[in-house]
Structure 1
C-alpha cells in the first residue's frame, strides 16, 4: 500500500506525455480521402471568377483586430494603425462538401487569392495602406467545405483625423476608418459588422494621447452608380496635457512672477526695471513660438493662445506701469525745478534805498546793472528817490572807459519800495537774457500733470492689483476649459 502514491504519479506522467504527443501529430486522412491539392485543383478547374450566384446580394461580414497604433500627427492630421482585417463571405462555387475531403476546411495558398472572387473591400479614406511582409505577405485564406471564404490581412494604415484644436492642449480628437466595396454597390454586395466588430489586442497608449473610446456604425451612401454600403469605425483620443503643464504653464507662471519683481524696485532704478520687463516679454514670446511650431496653422483661437496672450498682456502691463511711474517722476521733477527757480527769483529781487550791498552771484555777460541813488528834497522836507540805472559805457561812474569785469558786479539796495523791471533799460543785447529771466520768472507746471500721484504709491498698488487680476484670469481660464473636458461624452 505504501507504493500507491508513486504508481499514481507515474501513471499521470505517462498520460500527460501521451496527450502531448497526440496533440503534436496531424490527424491522418482515411483511405480514399482526397488531398487538399487535389480538391483545390478540382474546384479551380470549374471555377469562374464572377459574382457568386445568390438570390440576394452577397453578405460580407467584417471585423478588425487592433494590433498597435502609431503617433497621431497634428501637422499632417493623420494617425497610423496596425490591424488584422478580416472578411467573411459565402461563394457556393467554392464548396467542396460533395468531395471526399479529409478536413472540413482548407488553408489556401496566397497565390490562389487573385484567382477567386472577392468583394474588393478597401479603406477609402486611408492615405496609405500596406500589407505587412515579414518576410512574405501576411495574408491568410481559409476555405470551408460549404464555400465560405475567410480572408485575413495584416495591414499598416495611415488614416486621416478630424482635428479640432480649439481646446488644445485639453482637446479630444477623433480618427475614422471607412470600409467600402470599391467595385460593387449594395445591390450586389452588402457589408456588415460582425458581433465583435473591433477587438483590441492590447491596451493602446500613445505618447501624447490615450484612446478613450471607439465605436462602429453603418451607413448607405448614394453614388452615381447606386447605393453603396459603408462601414465606419471611429477612434476617440484624449490628449495627455501633463507635458504642456510642465513645459508651458509652469514656466509662464514663473515668468509672470519674475515680472512683478520690478514693483519692488525703487522708481529711479529704470535700467533694472526695464531689463526685467523686456526679458520676461522675450521669454514668453520665444516659448509661445516654440509651442506653435508643432501645430498646424489654424485661423481660430486655441486654449493655448488664450493663455500665452493673456500672460504676455500681463507682462506688457508691467511695462506700461513702468512708463506711467517714469512720467509721474518727470512731472514731479518739473514741479520741483519750478519751485527752485521761483525761490531763487524771490531771493534775487532788486530793491533800491540809500545803501548799497554787493551781491555774490557775479556779473552777467561782462557788464553790470547798477541802480544809483540821488537824494532830493521836495520842499516838504521829504527826500525823493531818483534811480539812474547805469550800464557799461554810460554815466559818471565809468568816465574812463569800460570797467573791468572784476569790478562790474550786480548790486542791490535796501529799500521799502521795490525797483521795477521797467525802470531797468537795456542798452546792450548781452543784458537782455538776464532781464528776461528776471521778468518772466519760472514757467507754470504743464497742464494735466499727474504730480499729485507718487511713484511709490503706484508701485504699491500694482504689486497688489496685478496678482489679483492674474488670479482672476486663472480661475476663469481653468474653469472654462477643464469643465468642457470633464463634461464631454464619448459615447
Structure 2
C-alpha cells in the first residue's frame, strides 16, 4: 500500500470515530424525559409488588395498631320510585369510601415523584384491599358498566385510598300507613361490615357533607323533606359490627289524592242527595240514582285498596271512603223509608176518606130523623140534638192545630215553630225528605270539619316512623 492510500484510510477512520463520539454525546442529551403515565406505571408496579403488598391483609390503623377507619360519603343521583305495595324504593347513587393504607405510600420513593402527580388511578379494585361493606336492607342491586365500568380507585402519595362506584339499589322501606294519604314516610339506607368487627374495621361518616342529593330530584308522589345520618352498630353472637345509616324523610304529595279520591267522593255524596228533591212516586229515578252512586263509590274504594298493601289497621283514607259510602247508603235507605211512609200515607188517606164518607152518611141520617121527629112532636128534639152532639164530638177533635207559633213568657218556642213548619207538609214521606235535605248536608259538613282537623293538623314525629 502506498503512502497516499494509507493517508486516506487513516483520515476516513478518524472521521468515523469522531462522528460516533459526537452521536453518543448529543444522543444522550436529546432523550425524552419519562412522562407522568410512565412514572405512575413504575410506582404502581413497585407498590403493587406481590412480594411487598398483599391485598388479602387489611391495613393497620393509625399509629400502626387498632382498627382501620373507613370514611364514607354518598351522592344521591336519583330516586326512581317509592312502592307502597311492596314497601320498597329504588335509588341510584355514587358511593365513596376512603381509608389509609401505609403499604401504598409512595411520597418517600427515590427518585421523588413529580409534584404534579396528585394521585395514582386504578380501575381494578381486586388489586387492593377493600372493606367488606354491604347494604343490609338491599333487595336488589347492580353496578353500571356503560360504556366502561363506573368505578375508580385513587391512591394518594400518603397512602390514602379513595374508592368510588356508581350503583343502583332497591331497598326495603317499611311504612306506617295510618295517616295515608296525609302521611310522611322515612326510608332508610343501611351500610354495615359483613365480616370485620369493630376491632378490625370502623365505618365513619365523612366529616363534611357526608350525604349529597342532586338538585334535580323530582318524585311524582313524594317530596324529600330532609335526610339525616346516624350510626347503627349491631351486636350479634359473633361480635359487634360497624354500621352507618341514612334516613330519608318523604312527604306524600296530597294534590294527587285530592283530585282522584276526595273531590270525586264529595261529588258522589252530593249527587246521592238529589233523590231528596225528587218526588216520592218517582221510584225508578230514585232507585237508579241511589244504586248507581252506591256502586260507583264501592268501585272507587276497591280501586284505591288495590294500590295499597293489606294492613290490619284503619287508614285515614279508609275513614273517608267508609263515611262517604255510609252517606250514599243512607240516602238509599232514606228512599226506602220515604217509600214506606208514602204507602202508609196513601192507606191513611183512604181510611180518612172512608171515615168522612161514613160521617156524611150519619149526618144525613140524623137530619132525616130530626125532620121526621119535628113533624111529629115539636118539643121532642132535645134528645136528638144531644145525640147528634155526642156523635159528632169525636170528629170535631180532628181539626188542625193552631198554625201560629205560641209564646211562652214572650219567648218564641223553637220546637213549636218547627212543628208548625213541618205541618206545611201534610204527608210523612214529604216531611222525611225535607228533614233529610237539612240533616244529611249538616252531618257531612260536621264530618269534614272533624276529619280535616284530626288528620291535617296532626303532627308526626319522624323518630316514630323509623323502623
What TM-score results when the alignment is normalised by the length of structure 1? Answer: 0.69
Are 1:166 and 2:178 counterparts?
yes
The one of 116, 120, 129 equivalent to 1:107 is 120
- Alignment match, 2:388: none
Report whether the alignment pairs 1:57 with 2:52.
no
Instruction: Please give the alpha-carbon distance, in whole angstroms, between the structure 2 residues aligned to 1:33 and 1:67.
Output: 32
- The structural deviation recorded for 1:335 is 2.5
> What's the counterpart of residue 457 of structure 2?
483
User: Would you say the 8 A contact 2:135–2:191 is kept in 1?
Assistant: yes
> Distance in 1 between the 2:81 and 2:130 partners?
32
Does the CA-based 8 Å contact 2:122-2:154 persist in structure 1? no
Q: What is the aligned counterpart of 2:248 among 235, 238, 243?
A: 235
**Higher normalized strand content (fraction of residues):** 1
1:306 to 301, 315, 319: 319
Contact 1:107 1:140 in 2 (8 A): no
Provide the secondary structure at the position in 1 that maps to 2:48. helix
Distance 2:317 2:97 in 1: 44
RMSD in angstroms over aligned alpha carbons? 2.5
Separation in 2, partners of 1:33, 1:237: 47
1:371-410 per-position Cα deviation (integer Å, ceiling 9, x unaligned): xxxxxxxxxxxxxxxxxxxxxxxxxxxxxxxxxxxxxxxx
1:98–1:33 distance in 2 versus 1, CA, 3 Å: farther
Match of 1:74 in 2: 84
In the alignment, structure 2 segments of 5+ residues that lack a partner are 1-31, 363-383, 385-424
Q: Secondary structure at the match of 1:152?
A: strand
Please say if 1:175 is aligned against 2:149: no
Find the aligned partners of 1:107 and 1:334 in 2 and give their Cα distance: 102
How far 1:340 moved relative to its partner? 5.0
Task: Provide the rounded CA distance (Å) in 2 between the counterparts of 1:145 and 1:189.
Answer: 22
Q: Tell me: CA distance 1:110–1:208, structure 2 relative to 1, closer, same or farther (3 Å).
A: same
Q: Which whole-Å deviations, capped at 9, do the CAs of 1:12-61 have from their partners, x for residues lacking one?
A: xxxxxxxxxxxxxxxx9779996111111111112112011331100100
Q: Which residue of 2 aligns with 1:154?
A: 166
Structure 1 residues 256 and 213: CA distance shift in structure 2, 3 A: same
Q: Structure 1 residue 463 and structure 2 residue 437: aligned?
A: yes
Structure 1 residue 286, shift from structure 2 partner: 1.1
Structure 2 CA distance for partners of 1:65 and 1:184, relative to 1, 3 Å: same
Q: Give the match for residue 265 of structure 1.
A: 278
The runs of 5 or more residues in structure 1 that have no matched partner are: 1-27, 350-415, 417-450
1:184-217 C-alpha deviation (Å, 9 max, x unpaired): 1100001100121101232422000000010000
1:141 Cα offset (Å): 0.4
User: Partner residue of 1:219?
Assistant: 232
User: Is 1:48 paired with 2:54?
Assistant: yes
In structure 2, how many angstroms separate the alpha carbons of the residues matched to 1:235 and 1:29? 53
Q: CA deviation at 1:158?
A: 0.9
Q: TM-score, normalised by structure 2?
A: 0.73
Equivalent residue in structure 1 for 2:257, among 221, 244, 255: 244
CA distance in 2, matches of 1:32, 1:190: 35
Query: How many positions carry a matched residue from both structures?
Result: 362
1:157 offset after TM fit, Å? 1.1
Q: How far apart, in 1, do the equivalents of 2:323 and 2:33 lie?
A: 79
Say if 2:185 and 2:251, in contact at 8 Å, map to a contact too.
yes
Greater C-alpha Rg:
1
Alignment of structure 1 residues 369-384 onto 2, 5 Å? none
How far residue 258 of structure 1 moved from its aligned partner, in angstroms, is 1.1
- Contact residue 123 and residue 153 of structure 2 kept, 8 A: yes
1:317 alignment counterpart: 330
Aligned to 2:396: none
Tell me the distance in 2 between the aligned counterparts of 1:71 and 1:290: 20
Change over 3 Å in CA distance of 1:29–1:180 after alignment to 2: farther
Q: Which residue of 1 aligns with 2:42?
A: 38
Contact 1:91 1:147 in 2 (8 A): yes
User: Does residue 116 of the first structure (1) align with residue 143 of the second (2)?
Assistant: no
1:209 aligns with 2:250: no
CA distance in 1, matches of 2:80, 2:35: 52
